[in-house]
Structure 1
Amino acid sequence: MKTKHYLTLADAEFLLNTAHAYAVENGFNVSIAVTDETGNLLAMKRMDGASPMTANLCLEKAKCSAISKRPSKLFEDLIKGGQMGFLTMQTFNGMLEGGEPILFEGQLVGAMGVSGVKSFQDAEIAQFAIEKFLAQLG
């Protein structure tokens, strides 16, 4: 039988707090979501000043990454390149970048989505938090 790794609430809070600190340090107002490997919400934070729309978008970006096991930017690139004719999201503004899968020892354990600044900055925030999280695991 295999060992299955998963995110705990403490892990999700570490990711949220790390992303939040990075956003504050850079003057960003964003919403941040952390999901499990199935795309179900574990924890979320909407910073003061972040648009209400970003709350749904960050979750959708995280879900996209969890279900696909890939950064959400992949789908943005496919759509822009005309290779993907449809996409189902409750709210889609054409910018999907900002969802990042969380992989530990080759296993998908969850995903993180950020929304509120330029899409590459959303991804930067998530990537930073995930890198710090994985580094502290050893």
Structure 2
Amino acid sequence: MGITLAQAQAAIESAKMKAQELNLKMNIALVDAGANLVAFARMDNAWLGSVDIAIKKARTARFFDMPTGNLGQASQPGGPLYNIEHSNGGLITFPGGIPIKDANGEVIGAIGVSGSTVENDHAVAEAGVHAI
């Protein structure tokens, strides 16, 4: 079974709490196992340009079932996946997107966060994952 709306909302709430703790304004997206948007939150005054990035981070993490930062390492010049970010209607290959697994280790969705440094984006995304 894919991520439920209740789980997605719990992840958003947890991610928002982490963002507030770090004094950040974030865009947070949750997708299901089919990479379809389930839930989204744009914190007050979060960057408009990060809306699309958060959604694409979540979709990228689900498409490849790995954190977006890991995909980014393989997509550097000379890497085995160089230029992959141009596929699938545009991918994001820097940190902030993380797959979400159920208790059996099956990927049920993914979270994508954007609005700060990639380190902060990843930390806020991790907080969302830990809520599930």
Fold shared per TM-score above 0.5: yes
| Counterpart residue number, 1:57 | 53
Partner of 2:31, secondary structure, is strand
| Counterpart residue number, 2:29 | 33
Compare 121-130 and 73-82 and name the one that shifted more. 73-82
Give the share of equivalent positions with the same residue, in percent.
27
| Counterpart residue number, 2:110 | 111
Distance 1:23 1:76 in 2: 23
With normalisation by structure 2, the TM-score equals 0.88
With normalisation by structure 1, the TM-score equals 0.85
| Counterpart residue number, 1:80 | 76
Q: State the Cα distance separating 1:42 from its structure 2 match.
A: 0.1
Q: State the Cα distance separating 1:81 from its structure 2 match.
A: 5.3
Q: State the Cα distance separating 1:129 from its structure 2 match.
A: 1.9
CA separation of 1:11 and 1:121: change in aligned 2, threshold 3 A: same
Distance 2:67 2:110 in 1: 9
Deviations 1:70-110 (A, max 9, x none): 10111211223531321226667x76210000011110000
Distance 1:95 1:108 in 2: 19
| Counterpart residue number, 1:100 | 98
Residue identity in the other structure for 1:38? G
Point out where structure 2 has 5 or more consecutive residues left out of the alignment: none
CA separation of 1:31 and 1:115: change in aligned 2, threshold 3 A: same
| Counterpart residue number, 2:3 | 7
Distance 2:33 2:109 in 1: 4
- 1:35–1:42 contact (8 Å) kept in structure 2: yes
- Aligned-residue RMSD, C-alpha: 1.8
- 2:68–2:93 contact (8 Å) kept in structure 1: no
- Max radius of gyration: which structure? 1
Partner of 1:15, secondary structure, is helix
Residue identity in the other structure for 1:78? A
